[in-house]
Amino acid sequence: MTQLHDTSSRGFASDNYAGIHPEVLAAIAAANGGHQVAYGEDVYTAELQRVMKSHFGEQAETFPVFNGTGANVTALTSLLPRWGAVVSAKTAHINTDEGGAPERVSGLKLLTVEVPDGKLTPELIDLEAWGWGDEHRAQPLAVSITNTTELGTLYSVDEIRAISDHAHSLGMKVHLDGARISNAAAALGVPLREFTTDAGVDILSFGGTKNGLLYGEAIVVLNPEASEGLTYLRKLNMQLASKMRFVSAQLIALLADDLYLRSAGHANAMAARLRSALEAEIAAGRITGLSFSQATDANAVFAVLPAGVADTLRASFRFYDWDAAANEVRWMASFDTTEQDIDTFVAAISRELAV
């Protein structure tokens, strides 16, 4: 097939825009050829179980799935009875960007909390964690957090442990949406287990697509006593891949040789380069009208621009408005973002905002 796109084109809209990491593409090719038993009874999915256990503990059980929405909905469904509800940040992906899938597909009730930085705390959870035994209220039986958050911020190990301890003391279970879990691990500088299994998380959605996979995520059960029925729910929610070896092979490539850290760490570093370069421009008095609206803890930069500037920049660089009314935008770095990409973008922003 003739290549249809310009491979030199770069944008800052989403880490989903990036292609497949060459090591992941090689893993897909290596898993090809011959026959393997379908629906997960293949040697690659068996090896993935071993690899995930090495990162999350021997009790961990892994269920490869197609995508993040499927991972989140299926994982949460396995935690809750029909009358259960999930406490989450109002900005959480399960609330804002999954088309109502938790409610429509699983019948879950989301109890959302306003958060200034994307992060829940025990005190914020308590705003919705009440009413047990009240037949008129959906029962709050799980908490869902995201690391890194939808606002690009980072939970520390201690913050996750405090949430887990509090939730468990209330009889609630804890789900972690790890669409960008690799970026969190790279930013925290600790093993995956330290801010998941050891911090009391019961189940997580392990993200791969935003970090160089073609497609594929995984549900990882960290506390087998907390989750029930995933063998059946994965099929019921249309997340059971027949040729599962190709999902598993990608995740193995990501995890087996610390590719997840190398790729995510690079993306984080590129976001930090973008922010620090613009901060230097502001400090030197060369540009005006730009401010930052969130901490840059990983690979996302949230900024506020003067009216009209975002649309001008988008003529050359694709990125999204986060809050159009406030002129707030989001810039994302990816595993394949280069220093030159950042420097070119900074130069374009500086031209538009020059004093």
Mean pLDDT value across residues 212-222: 98
Query: Looking at residue 127, what is its pLDDT?
Result: 98
Mean pLDDT computed over every residue of the chain: 97
Query: Looking at residue 354, what is its pLDDT?
Result: 97
> Per-residue b/e over 95-129, b at no fewer than 16 CB within 10 Å?
beebeebbeebbebbbbbbebeebbbebebbeebb
pLDDT score of 222 more than 90: yes
Domains 22-257 and 260-353 share a fold: no
Query: Can you name the CATH fold of 260-353?
Result: Aspartate Aminotransferase, domain 1 (3.90.1150)
Which position has the higher pLDDT, 256 or 87?
A: 87
Where exactly are the structural domains of the chain? 22-257, 260-353
Q: How far is CA 129 from the centre of its chain?
A: 24
> Which pTM value belongs to this model?
0.97
The helix or strand, by DSSP H or E, that contains position 328, with its residue range, turns out to be strand 328-332
The domain defined by 22-257 carries CATH number 1.10.287.70: no
pLDDT score of 60 more than 90: yes
pLDDT digits (tens, 9 = 90+) for 298-318: 999 999 999 999 999 999 999
State the Cα–Cα distance between residues 286 and 314, nearest whole angstrom. Answer: 21
Name which of 115, 123, 122 is nearest 168 in CA terms: 122
Mean pLDDT value across residues 169-182: 98
Query: Looking at residue 93, what is its pLDDT?
Result: 97
